[in-house]
Structure 1
Amino acid sequence: MKLTVQVRLLPTPVQAAALEATLSACNEAANWVSGVAFEKGVRRNFELREHTYGEIKARWGLGAQAAQHVIKKTCDAYATLKANLTAGNLGKPGSRRYRKAAEKPLVFRPQGAQPYDDRMLSWQTAARRVSIWTVAGRIKDVAFTASPEQLAMLGMYRKGESDLLMRDGMWFLLATCDVPAAEPNTDPHDFLGVDLGIVNIATTSDGEIMAGRELNRIRTRERKLRTKLQKKNTPSAKRRLKKRRYKEARRAKDINHKIAKHVVAEAERTGRGIALEDLTGIRERVRLRKPQRATHSSWSFAQLGQFIAYKARRAGVPMVYVDPAYTSRTCAECGHIDRANRVSQAWFACRSCGFVDHADRNGSRNIRARARELWRRGAESAAPAPPPRQRGGAGRERSIAASGARCAIPALAPGS
């Protein structure tokens, strides 16, 4: 399975200037290539190379490998745009947002990430040094820092391209590592249901509640501060806005990583699978009042789900995605469905049998029950069969569809 390890570069001022000039030249060339691709309607790598390769090398002084990566980066960006347009992620055809994205060339930021392969970048992991190509020539002995775990992963599993980028004045390399996945557990004896929410970020069917009140308070405070600074609109206010712009996202990401790690470890320890709701499209399905929109929009359920999925795949823990319909209104004891069962955000009281429980825990038990039934149907005689191979190969999970839901087990490595 593919994982990305982020290491921080510690260049000297001279090295940093060369790296900055390299990123600027590569992204300026990518903007020109994007214009050519848009004007001529060429989106394929080899076709676009015929129109742009020589000009890139002559005008910006890029090496052969750098020029090819600039062209490939542009083609990949247009492929991503096409996929988003097709999926409706940028609105309906003819809408203002759709036309804004489709009717002009793509533009790359001056400090956008630039891919490097092993011909342009070499690692001395033990010495914590890299040798990297720049427009000023090859720069050797660029120091980097990483944790012992990251160094071990780089030394054993690094394979493929790495991306150079600058963020908030700091330099990073994003290295691709091909980490072998654990042997998948194809016969879990039960499932750990996980209910994702805003007030409580995650609630398990074991009754464990990971509350999100502190994170929500921080988000509210950050929104109020951003509003005040934007109204003030002074140079110092703009500097403060720039300094704080990623703080909230970093905190939420850290919390999601910790929750995902804990959930996967508990499932692995007890020999169970993990059951989640399939929340795809929930933002479009839910209508909210204005005061609730910001809170709902900042809910990072997709990120948490991705973290749980990749950590589970790495640990060999099977994943099941169930239909989320009425999980919050269904009694986990008798199965009675009634909107009135949900007394409040926190409490559930069944109008039929009188069962009372925490609302999110009741929902997680329903998720677990649906996962059991789905797995039983999909694995009566054998493990669930994979669908036809999709674009992305071994990096995708195997899945089956049953009863409006999907069930997934970790993909096996080739030859396993």
Structure 2
Amino acid sequence: MLCETMKRFNEACNRIAETVFAMHSANKVEIHKTVYYPVREHFGLSSQLTIRAISKVCEAYKRDKSIKPEFHLDGAIVYDQRILSWKGLEKVSLITLQGRQAIPIRFGEYQKARLDRIRGQADLILVNGIFYLCVVVEVDEETPYDPKGTLGVDLGIKYLAVDSDGEVHSGEQINQTRERLDSLKARLQSKGTKSAKRHLKKLSGRTARFSRDVNHCISKHIVTKAKDTLRSISLEDLQGIRSRVTVMKAQRRRLHTWNFGLLRTFVEYKAKVAGVPLVFVDPRNTSRTCPSCGHVSKANRPTRDEFRCESCGFAGPADHIAAMNIAFRAEVNQPIVAGKHLTSVTSSGL
């Protein structure tokens, strides 16, 4: 029932996409006038499901008008409050090709405590043969406080995050897990047996889930630490970092599988909920600038982990130095300047 509704909905989306691309228009009103009745008649969708299909296609076309949107037959169905309603804690009422159906549901304690906060539309998705409803919940945000200092955070690959206090969050566990699972997948794929294929299906998404869990824990710790000390958080603006950075061949895979955007997103939304001010700074030369004298040079970083200023001799772990510069840069809102006397930072301080 749900599978057939999902298939028909996405077939309708592909038909609507042909019209949208031919008209070169993402105007929902104009597209509605053109496709509404033919789509309802041909695909048997309800009125509101047809409207949601038109909306889905138009939103997809807006993202890139140079190509025609294409939708997998098991793509998400978009439900709004007119075609979805919650029936207590046990069922949800959804519109299908067979009309309204009460579908049994189950969820954890975390979701149960937030059912009264559900707002707007929901997406019905199919993952590994299981249907999920992805909903938006409304979360109260605390009023941002006036910070008394800044906690700078340097994001990286070897160390996922290092803050300006010197606290290190290593990424080695994620890298080891990824390499172990990739090696296992390669061996299973080379066998090609039915048993190997079943095992591969079980492994699907395991690395991503593990990475998300680690990033959740790190981001929660960073935000809690900043709030407890009444400091703001400063991060580097790493948009486009992969195209700007050159690494050795052996490191390319780590760079292109480095999900720094996920950690940044987690820190961003957790900080907003907690009322912690968040600032993004220019990442250029944060690991090459001396926070003591302001001297900038590639030679200040003789190795990946070591920083030693060739001008004044200030030294310390490179990622810690970068985090300090990020914090200073956020506080002054301009490139680091000379004149601030600091003592050397040693590895034992981490």
Do Structure 1 and Structure 2 share a fold, with TM-score over 0.5? yes
- CA distance in structure 1 between the partners assigned to 2:111 and 2:186 by the alignment: 38
Structure 1 contact 162–173 (Cα < 8 Å) conserved: yes
Give the Å deviation of 1:131. 1.4
Report whether the alignment pairs 1:172 with 2:135: no
Aligned mate of 1:117, from 73, 76, 80: 80
Match of 1:349 among 305, 308, 313: 308
- Residue 202 of structure 1 aligns with which residue? 161
What's the counterpart of residue 213 of structure 1? 172
Q: Deviations over 1:259-306 (max 9, x none)?
A: 111111111111110000011111111123332211100111111111
Query: Aligned partners of 1:228 and 1:150: how far apart in 2?
Result: 38
Q: What residue is the counterpart of 1:143 in the other structure?
A: 105
Alignment of 1:154-193 (within 5 A): 154-155=115-116, 157-185=117-145, 187-193=146-152
Q: Specify the alignment match of 1:50 in structure 2.
A: 33
**Which of the numbers 54, 61, 76 marks the counterpart of 2:44?**
61
Residue 128 of structure 1 contacts residue 145 of structure 1 at CA under 8 Å; is this kept in 2?
Answer: no
The equivalent position to 1:128 in structure 2, one of 64, 75, 90, is 90
Distance in 2 separating the partners of 1:338 and 1:369: 18
How far apart, CA to CA, are the structure 1 residues paired with 2:288 and 2:39?
Answer: 60
Gaps of 5+ in 2: 336-350
Give distance in 1, aligned partners of 2:113 and 2:180.
39
What CA deviation, in whole Å up to 9, does each residue of 1:354-378 have, x standing for no partner?
A: 222221111101111101101xxxx
Matched, 1:313 2:283: no
Q: Which amino acid aligns with 1:324?
A: P
Deviation by residue 1:157-202 (Cα, 9 ceiling, x = unmatched) = 21110111111111111111222321122x2110110000000000
The correspondence of residues 254-403 of structure 1 with structure 2, limited to 5 A, is 254-374=213-333
Letter matched to residue 51 of structure 2: Q
Following the alignment from structure 2 to structure 1, what is the Cα–Cα distance between the partners of residues 103 and 175?
A: 44
Q: Distance in 1 between matches of 2:90 and 2:108?
A: 8
- Corresponding residue of 1:79: 62
Equivalent residue for 2:344? none
Which blocks of at least 5 consecutive residues in structure 1 are unaligned?
A: 1-17, 83-101, 375-401, 404-416
SS in 1 for 2:114: helix
Q: Greater CA deviation, 210-219 or 341-350?
A: 341-350
Looking at structure 2, the residues matched to 42 and 314 of structure 1 have their Cα atoms a distance apart, in angstroms, of: 37
Alignment of 1:217-236 (within 5 A): 217-236=176-195
Tell me which residue corresponds to 1:40. 23
SS in 2 for 1:51: helix
Identity of aligned residues (%): 40
The answer as to 2:69 corresponding to 1:106 is: yes
Give the RMSD, CA atoms, in angstroms. Answer: 1.9
Letter in 2 for 1:153: R
- Name 2:343's counterpart in structure 1: none
Three-state SS of the structure 1 residue aligned to 2:64 is helix
| SS at structure 1 position matched to 2:265 | helix
The answer on whether the counterparts of 1:34 and 1:106 sit within 8 Å (CA) in structure 2 is yes
Higher relative contact order (CA 8 A, sep 6+): 1
Alignment size in residue pairs: 336
- Structure 1: how far apart are the matches of 2:251 and 2:204? 21
User: How far is 1:246 from its partner?
Assistant: 1.2
TM-score by length of 1: 0.76
**CA–CA separation in structure 2 for the residues paired with 1:146 and 1:56:** 38
CA distance in 2, matches of 1:134, 1:191: 52
Tell me how far 1:144 sits from its aligned partner: 2.0
Read off the aligned partner of 1:129 and give its amino acid letter. Answer: K
AA partner of residue 257 (structure 2): S
Q: Deviations over 1:175-234 (max 9, x none)?
A: 11222321122x211011000000000011111100011111112223333444444455
2-structure distance, mates of 1:289, 1:354: 28
State TM-score, norm by structure 2.
Answer: 0.90
Asked if residue 152 in structure 1 is aligned to residue 89 in structure 2, the reply is: no
8 Å Cα contact 1:159-1:176 kept in structure 2: yes
Partner of 2:338: none
